[in-house]
Amino acid sequence: MRAVVQRVSRASVEVSGGTVVRAGRGLLVLAALHRDDTDTDLDYIARKIVGLRVFEDAAGVMNCSLEDVKGDLLLVSQFTLYGDARKGKRPSYGEAMPPDRASARFHEFVALCKTLWPRVETGVFGAHMMLDLVNDGPVTILLDSRRLF
């Protein structure tokens, strides 16, 4: 599993011209499932996200987590994180989990995150979404359950 974690002051998701979800200060996470992901991969990424200390403490040091700042968590499925453009100019998505399996697994991931932190919102799986966000910092962290980066 891969995730792009962005610290945001606000974020929203729009589908078909209407806003479906809004989040305040917290994290916007773009998440992709690998075709071979297991419960262990989902658990690793969920715990990393919720425990990630990327918010500033009173001394201005990034030392606080979502829990510390009572932040929002917005999860958006994005299979293109597994796009491989090393050959040619058109990315291959062969490493991404097929949509029929990925939908169920993404919803499992969301449920897992909610057990760790209750303030979770999501985009619409498989929909063409427009994201609006203000990246605070900017702070952007890349996570991979196989620890490739």
Q: What are the counts of helices (DSSP H) followed by strands (DSSP E) for the chain?
A: 3, 8
Which residue among the candidates 78, 106, 109, 122 is catalytic per the annotation? Answer: 78
Which residue among the candidates 19, 38, 40, 80 is catalytic per the annotation? Answer: 80
Which residue among the candidates 79, 106, 109, 122 is catalytic per the annotation? Answer: 79
Q: Is 80 a catalytic site residue?
A: yes
Q: Are 131 and 28 in contact (CB under 8 A)?
A: yes
Q: Is 79 a catalytic site residue?
A: yes
Q: Is 109 a catalytic site residue?
A: no
What is the 3-state composition of the chain as percent helix, strand, coil, each rounded to the nearest 5? 25, 40, 35
Q: Are 15 and 127 in contact (CB under 8 A)?
A: yes
The token pair at 31 is 């998440």
* Residues noted as catalytic: 78-80
